[in-house]
Amino acid sequence: MKCARQMALDVQNGDTSAVSVLEESLAQIRSRNEELNVFLYVDEEGARAAASAVDERVARGENVGSLAGVPVALKDNLCQTNIPTTCSSKILEGWRSPYSATVVDRLLAAGAVPVGKTNLDEFAMGSSTENSAFGPTRNPHNTSRVPGGSSGGSAAAVAADMTPLALGSDTGGSIRQPAALCGLIGVKPSYGLVSRYGLIAFASSLDQIGPLTKTVSDAAIALEAIAGHDPLDSTSLPEPSPSLVAHVEDGVAGKRIGVVRELIDGADADVVASVERAVEVLKEAGAAIVELSVPEFRLGLSAYYLIAPAEASSNLARFDGVRYGLRVKADDVTAMMEATRTAGFGEEVKRRIMLGTYALSAGYYDAYYGQALKVRTLTIDAFRRAYREADLLLGATTPSVAFEFGSKTADPMAMYLSDVFTIPSNLSGEPAISVPFGTGEAGLPIGVQLLGPGRSEAQLFAGARVLEIADGRP
Amino acid sequence: MSLPDGWEMVVGLEVHTELKTNTKMFCGCANTFGAAPNTNVCPVCLGLPGSLPVLNVRAVELAMAIGTALHSTISPSTFHRKNYFYPDMPKDFQISQYDLPINAGGYLDLPDGSRVSIERAHLEEDTGKSTHLGGSGRIHDADRSLVDYNRSGVPLVEIVSGPDIRSSAQARTYAAELRGILIATGASDGRMEEGSMRIDANVSVRRTGEPFGTRCEIKNLNSLRSLVHAIDFEAARQVEMIEGGARVRQETRHWDENLGSTSTMRVKEEADDYRYFREPDLVDLVPDQAWQDRVRDGLKPMPAERRAVLTLRLADPAPALLDALEVVIDLGLDPFVVAALDAGVAPEPAIARAANEIASDLDGVDKLSVESYVATLLMEQRGELSATQSKTVLAEILANGGEPTSVAASKGFERLASGALGEVVAQLIEENPDEWSRYRSGDEKLAQFFIGQVMKLTSGQANGKEVIAELQARR
C-alpha cells in the first residue's frame, strides 16, 4: 500500500480516484479483519460517500487537501456522527454519537475518508488490546503476539495495510507503545495541540490524540491536519496548527540529544541495542550526544497509576444507564446504576475506577492523589532541567518487543510496566514520537523514542526522519 | 415565633441563584425557564461521552458583580468536580468551585442595622430537574422518574453566609436584601417561585452565651415564607429535643410546606464524600484588575443606597407603607417612585401602584416608562382617572404598551364634564326619594348607594369624590 502522502497526490492529480483507493482499503479489511480483529465497525456506506465527494471536488478542479482520498482508521473512542462508538465496552452498547469529534471534522476537511472504528483496550485502559469486550486484536507481524495498546486496533490497521493512517489516543503511551510493537511511527503531541473534543475521556489531563503511520512525513501531514486551536476544548493551545511537513528533512546537525538512562534501563537487550545504534546514527548525522540521568522518571509510573485512575473514576461516572448505552433493569435507580455498571464494565476498568475512587477519598486524598500530583510536578521540573542540557531526549519506547497473548494478563503490574518509558511525557504534557528502528526477538519490530519540550514536534519529526532513513526507509 | 427564654438560634444561609445569562454555563444552549422538556440541550449539557465544557464569560462577570456588591475579594480561582451519582446530573459530577472560589469573604448590611458576614460566593452549574411519579413524589419510592435536562448546566452562584443570623425575621430580611442585590446586579430575576433563587438553611440552637450547637441543614426553601416557617419549626424542634434530654444529630432535613414540619433526608456522617478534585477540562479563572474594575464601574446602585434616596423623600412614611416600600426596593422599582414623588404625587399612590401594579407584571416593566408612570398617577391625582381606572391604565401599558392618555381614551376613561355629572345626580335623586331623604337626614352610608348608581349610569367614568361633592351641594 502506498503512503498517505503519495495517495493524496495521486488522488489530487487524478492519477487514481478516492473511490478506487477506498475499495482497495475495504478489500484489505475484508481479507484480514476476521483473523486480526482490527475493526469493530466498518462504515462502508459513509466512506463511499466521503470518497465520492472527494472525487467530485477533484473533478471540479478544487484543491481538496493534504489527505485527499486517504482512508483513515479511527480508534473507537473517537466520536463520529451516526455510527457506533463503543470504547470497546459493553456499557456503550447501541450508542451512536449525535456529533463528531473535532479531529474527525478536521480529517474530513483535509479530504480524508474515515473507514471505520478500531479495537482498543476498554476505555483505553491497557497495553495489549486484550482488555477489549470484543476480543483482542492480533499483531499483523505475528498473530500470536499482541499489537500493544490501548490503540492496538489502530496500529494493526496500518501495519496490515488496511489504511495508511490511523488515529489513536495516548494517555500513558497508548499510541507510541502499539506503534513500537507494530513497527510504525506513533506521535503523542504536546498537550493541547490537538483538540480532545469528541475523544471519550480516560484521563483528561493526560489524554492526547495523535497519528499512527508508516512514514514520518505521513505523521507530519496528519498532525498538521488535526492540530490547532479549537474553541470547544478549553485546554486547547491558542496557536494555530504548526508547520511540520516543511521541517521533516531538517536533520539533527548541531542538536544536543540527551540519552536518558532511565528510559533504557530495564529494557531487553535487543531493545537496548537498537537504542545504542540510534545514538550512533544521530551522532553521525551531526547531533551532539549527552548522557543524562533523570531519576524522577522512575516515579512516573506510580504517579500515573493514581492520577489516571482518579480522573477516570470521575470521567466514567456518567455511564450509569440513565441516558444512553446499556441499562440493566433493577428495583430502583441506585440498584439500576449498580447493576448496569457491574454488567457493563470489564475487570480492568472496574479495577481502575476503584483505585481512582479510593485515591480521591476523604482521608486518602493527600497520601495518594495529592502525593501523585507532587510527583507530577517533580517530573515536569526534571524535564525542564534536562532540556537545559539537551534539545531532545532519546530512549526506548517499550521494554520489549510484542509479547505473547496472556503473558501479562494475570499480573496487572507487569502489564503496567509496559508503559514505564512513555508515561513521563504524558505527565509533563510534552510531545514524544516512537519510530521503528531495527528488529529484535523473533524478527519483531523495535521502537525508539524521541522526546522534546512543549511544541517541539517539528524537531521530533526531523530527528525521527534521520532514524527512518538509517533504518532503510528513504 | 420566638424560642423559650434563655435560648438562641444560630442560622447561616446558603443561597443558590441562577444567573440571568443568555446561554448556559459551559455550552451555547439557551438559558430560559419554561421551555418544553429536553429542548435546550446539547452534547455538553447532556454530558455525552467526549463532550467538554467551555466557560461562559458572562456568568463570570455576573458572579464578580455579586461579589463586588457583597464586598468580597475577587480572587484567581479554580473549578473542581463534585462527584456523586444522581440521575438528573448527566455527568454524575457537578462542576463547582472548592478551595479557591471566585469571591471570598465579604458582608451584607441589612436595613435593620445588623451585618451578616459572607464566607464565599462561588460559581457552579445547576442540575437537571427530576419529576418522580407515584409514591410520595420523592425518588426513593417513585414508580417512575422523568428528567428534564433544560436546567442542566445553567449557571449558579452559591452565596454562603456566616452563622451570624439570630432570628427567622433576620433571615427573611437577609434573603430579601440579597434578592434585591441580585436583581440590582442584573445577576438574577430573583424569582423564587421559578426556582431562580433557592435557599438552604443551616440551623442550630444554643443556650445564650454557650458555644454553637449541632446544626441541621434544611434543603431547598423556595419562598421567604417557607424560610421563616422552616427555621422557626426547626429551632423549636431542636430546643424541645435538648430540653427533653436528647441530642441533635447532624443531618440534612426536608421542609414539607403542607405539613409545616421538617423531616430527615439523610444523616450527614454516612454520606457526602464528594471526592473533589480539580476539573482537568477547564483552565484556571484569573480575572485581571482591569476586568474587575469594569465590573465595578458597571454596577448600578444597590438597595441600601436606593433605600436612602427614597427615605430622604418620605419625611415620616406611614407604617402601612413600609412593606410596599421594601417590595419597591427589592424589585428595583424605586426609579418610578422617586420620579412620581418628585413630580408631586402623594406617597401612598406613588409607592402602592409600583408595589402592586408593576410588581404583579414584572415581565412588562420594559413597556412602562418612568414618564408614563408619573403621567398616569398625576392624571389620577387631578381626578381625571379614578383609582380603579388608573390601575387599569397601568396594567394595560404593562401588558401591551402605549401612552397613558391614549390608553385611557381607548378604554373610554374620559372624565365626565362636571355639568353632565350634576344632571345624572339630579336624575337619581328624583328617582330615589327614600334614599335621598335618609341621606339628607344624615345616613352617610347612602353616599355609597348613589356613587354605585352613578357608576352604573356612566359606565364607571365618574369620580367618587366628585359624586359626593355633587350630593353635598344638594343636601
Contacts with B43 from chain A: Cβ below 8 Å:
97-99
Q: Which residue has the cell 504534557?
A: A429
Which of B25, B46, B51 best tests the A interface by mutation, with the highest count of A CBs <10 A?
A: B51
Residues A318, B91: C-beta atoms closer than 8 Å: yes
Q: CB under 8 Å to B297, separation ≥6 — which residues?
A: none
Residue A345: which residues within 8 A CB-CB, separation 6 or more? Answer: A89, A90, A91, A122, A316, A319, A353
Comparing alpha-carbon positions, the chain B residue that sits nearest to A232 is: B54
CB A178 within 8 A of CB A422: no
Contact across the interface for B50 and A235, Cβ inside 8 Å = no
Strand ranges of the sheet holding B80-83, from the earlier edge strand across to the other edge: B93-96, B80-83, B277-278
In whole angstroms, give the CA distance from residue A222 to residue A209: 11
Question: For residue A100, what is the nearest residue in chain B, using CA coordinates?
Answer: B50
pLDDT in tens, A364-415: 999 999 999 999 999 999 999 999 999 999 999 999 999 999 999 888 888 8
Q: Does B53 sit within 8 Å of A99, measured CB to CB? A: no
Cross-chain CB nearest to A79 (options B50, B54, B277): B50
Q: What is the CA radius of gyration of chain B?
A: 28
**Model pLDDT for residues A165-181, shown as the tens digit of each residue:** 999 999 999 999 999 99
**Which of B27, B92, B98, B274 has the most A C-beta neighbours within 10 Å, making it the best mutation to test the interface with A?**
B92
Q: Which residues of A touch B275 (CB under 8 A)?
A: 313-314, 357, 360-362, 365
**Amino acid at residue number A281:** V
B79 and B96 Cβ atoms separated by less than 8 Å: yes
Q: DSSP string spanning B246-303? A: --PPPEEEEEETTTTEEEEEEEGGGS-----EE-TTS--B---HHHHHHHHHTPPPPH
Please report residues of B whose CB lies closer than 8 A to that of A323.
46-47, 90
Is B277 close to A235, i.e. CB distance below 8 A? no
pLDDT of residue A64: 97
Ranges of chain A whose pLDDT falls below 70: none
Considering only alpha carbons, which residue of chain B is nearest residue A361?
B275
- The residues of A annotated with a catalytic role in the active site are 75, 150, 174
Chain A positions touching B52 (Cβ under 8 A) are 196-197, 232-234
Q: What is the pTM of this model?
A: 0.89
- Supply B403's cell numbers: 401612552
Q: Do B90 and B121 form a contact (C-beta atoms < 8 A)?
A: no
The terminus-to-terminus CA distance of chain A in angstroms comes to 16
Residue A258 lies in a domain: no
A78, A99, A234 ranked by CB distance to B55: nearest: A234
Grid coordinates representing B228 are 421563616
Contact between B275 and A313 using a beta-carbon 8 Å cutoff? yes
Mutation target to probe the B interface, by most B beta carbons within 10 A, among A323, A365, A366 is A323
The topology under which CATH files domain B418-474 is: Arc Repressor Mutant, subunit A (1.10.10)
Query: Could you give the residue ranges of the DSSP H alpha helices within B116-223?
Result: 168-184
**Shortest Cα–Cα distance, B380 to chain A (Å):** 57
Question: Which residues of chain B does A361 touch, with a Cβ-Cβ cutoff of 8 Å?
Answer: 273, 275
Nearest Cα residue in chain B from A317: B92
What does DSSP assign to residue B41?
-
User: Which of B49, B85, B277 is closest, CB to CB, to A337?
Assistant: B85
* Substitution target from A102, A191, A232, A342 for chain B, most B beta carbons within 10 A: A232
Question: In chain B, which residues have their Cβ closer than 8 Å to the Cβ of A200?
Answer: 49-50
Instruction: Give B86→chain A minimum CA distance, Å.
Output: 8
**Residues on chain B bordering chain A, Cβ-to-Cβ distance under 8 angstroms:** 43, 46-55, 81, 83, 85, 87, 90-93, 139-140, 145, 147, 273, 275-277, 280-283
Residues 6+ apart with CB under 8 A from A197: A101, A102, A230, A232, A233, B50, B51, B52
Question: Is residue B151 within 8 Å of B16, Cβ to Cβ?
Answer: no
**Contact: A200, B81; criterion CB under 8 Å:** no
Q: Which of B51, B399, B270 is nearest to A195 (CA)?
A: B51
Which residue of B48, B96, B141, B152 to mutate against A (max A Cβ within 10 Å)?
A: B48
Instruction: Supply B109's cell numbers.
Output: 448590611
Cα distance between residue A433 and residue A170, in whole Å: 11
Whether residues B280 and A204 touch (CB distance < 8 A) is answered with yes
Query: How distant, in Å, are the alpha carbons of A454, B237, B404 from that of B242?
Result: 63, 9, 61
Whether A310 and B277 lie within 8 Å, measured CB to CB? yes
Nearest beta carbon to residue B92 from set A77, A101, A317: A317
* Residue in B with minimal Cα distance to A357: B275
Query: According to the model, what pLDDT value does residue A474 have?
Result: 87
Predicted pLDDT of residue B420: 77
- Which residue from A minimizes the CA distance to B278? A311
What residues of B are in contact with residue A333 (Cβ under 8 Å)? 87, 139, 145
Q: What is the CATH number of the domain that holds A12?
A: 3.90.1300.10
Residue A188 located in a structural domain: yes
**DSSP state for residue A91 in the 8-state scheme:** G
How far is residue B189 from each of residues A128, B173, B177, B422, measured CA to CA in Å? 55, 18, 13, 50
The CA–CA distances, whole Å, from A244 to A359, A473, B210 equal 40, 19, 71
Verify whether the Cβ–Cβ distance B277 to A313 is below 8 Å: no
Among A79, A234, A334, the residue with its CB nearest the CB of B282 is A234
**Number of neighbouring beta carbons within 10 Å of residue A320:** 27
Structural domain boundaries enclosing A53: 4-241
Indicate whether A175 belongs to any domain.
yes
User: Which residues in chain B have their CB less than 8 angstroms from residue A88's CB?
Assistant: none
Alpha-carbon span A411 to A417, nearest angstrom: 10
Q: How big is the A-B interface in CB pairs under 8 Å?
A: 102
Closest CA to B305 of B109, B106, B104: B109
**Number of domains making up chain A:** 1
pLDDT for residue B342: 94
**B87 with A233: Cβ contact below 8 A:** no
How many angstroms separate the CA of residue A61 from the nearest CA in chain B?
36
Shortest distance, CA B49 to any CA of chain A (angstroms): 5
Q: Report yes or no on A256 lying in a domain.
A: no
Backbone torsions φ then ψ of B220, nearest 5 degrees: 55, 60
Nearest CA in chain A to B84: A317
Q: Does residue A372 form part of some domain? A: no
Positions in chain B short of pLDDT 50:
none
Q: Do A235 and B145 touch (CB under 8 A)?
A: no
